[in-house]
Structure 1
Amino acid sequence: EKNLFSPVQSDILEKRIPDHLRHPEGLWFGLSKRARIIIYTKADGRPEKLETYDDLADPSHKGDICMRSSSNIYNISLLASIIEHEGKEAAENWAKGVVANFARPAQGNDTANIEAVGAGECRISLVNTYYVGRMLGSENADTRAAAEKVGLIFPNQDGRGTHVNISGAGVLKHAPNRENAIRFIEFLTSDWAQLAFTEQNHEYTAVPGVSETSPVPGTDGFREDEINASALGVNQAEAVRIFDRAGWQ
């Protein structure tokens, strides 16, 4: 939107990166993914009526939910996707419903909320998968134990699929080494680089079929929301305004 990137045409990138993970005009390309999933306190059992993001706003979960701040890009991105799928009014009703179910004011990062849910301070939260993967793969026994106390739900599996956030790259208009910049992004879609994202940072590969092992132990593949990621940026400002009106600090 600031007009900093230049379009890239690359047969490799267009072949390797699915349409929904790259800008329609080639301004950027997604390179890795993390899913925004629901977690719950395993010791208390899986809560009823908790299959979709919409379910988080159900009054049956009143007083059960911990969340991080609405200023966090992961939450803004999720609400932006809800705006795109369901419209502004539905998105605002959802945000107000979730706030009404808060166990405490929004606080902490994803790791802190995993720990809070595992400790029973609240029963439900939303986190990115790679935080869970990192904790389960930690050399620290206490960190692993905290992550093992939460159950995982990939929302909307019977509908549009689970929301994913991405990391990606583009080429600036005034890049002094444009051709090498493109080659570098192409390299980041190679099997070797894609596996590095998974093995070192517990992210999902943007390139389909590269890894047969989930970066989050104990989970399998999942249906992801294939909304084009560019829509998330377009709807960000409206998402922030909705959060503010809903009282999600």
Structure 2
Amino acid sequence: MDILQKIVKHKKREVALKKELVPVHQLEASSLFQRPALSLSAALRKSASGVIAEFKRRSPSKSVINHHSPVHEVAMGYEQAGICGMSVLTDGHFFGGSLEDLQMARATTNIPLLRKDFMIDEYQFFEARAHGADVILLIAAILDKNTIRRFTDLAHELGLEVLLEVHDEKELMRSLLPDIDMIGVNNRNLKTFEVSLETSRKLAADIPGEIVKVSESGLSNIESIRELRGMGYRGFLIGETFMATEDPGRKATEFIKTLEQ
């Protein structure tokens, strides 16, 4: 069993327990549930940098990344840096995140927020809305096309945008839907954790022009991002480059200033 299968197995147990503790109607009663959502895809289309900055404490591949920077400080620093949106890891067991991190980021910023988690149940979409998310991540590697269709419809009904993550041409071809808001090409192999920007390069031409292209993982080099922009990418999800520093917000500021020169 690879790490992705382990995560999904654990996530199913976790969601089942949550559904018993907090029913959907209680989530719908949240003060954040009816707030107008912000559009990440629109922000990326008009941005000169396209940076989506991530808040991540740890990961299965790198263990501890940053346990000293509070989410509200990082969120404010990212917003001041001029990012297009913020990705917040909400998986607790494997990444050290929480829905409270998402809620805190929402309370301190007015930028599009992506709930980055392993979405395997409709219940999680209501959680995302209730905690201030504007966008949800769908991972093609763990979902079939019918489920992606159903989840996309639900996300849009709730006012959420969809970032569909793929890792290769096969995943892209079998999961592509015309109303997906954004396609994220993850340069990290979730089974081996190896990173290669060649993944984004190979898939660039296969993503329809009307869908916003996002490159994810391994994006620490300004020139690589400029190259990918030339191939049609408008979003760049960056986590460890910022989070593995003493001041993620300051690092994001320096990075974006250089990128926009």
TM over 0.5: no
Larger Rg: 1
Q: What TM-score do you get using the length of structure 2 for normalisation?
A: 0.27
Q: Identify the structure with bigger relative contact order (alpha carbons < 8 Å, sequence gap 6+).
A: 1
Q: What TM-score do you get using the length of structure 1 for normalisation?
A: 0.28
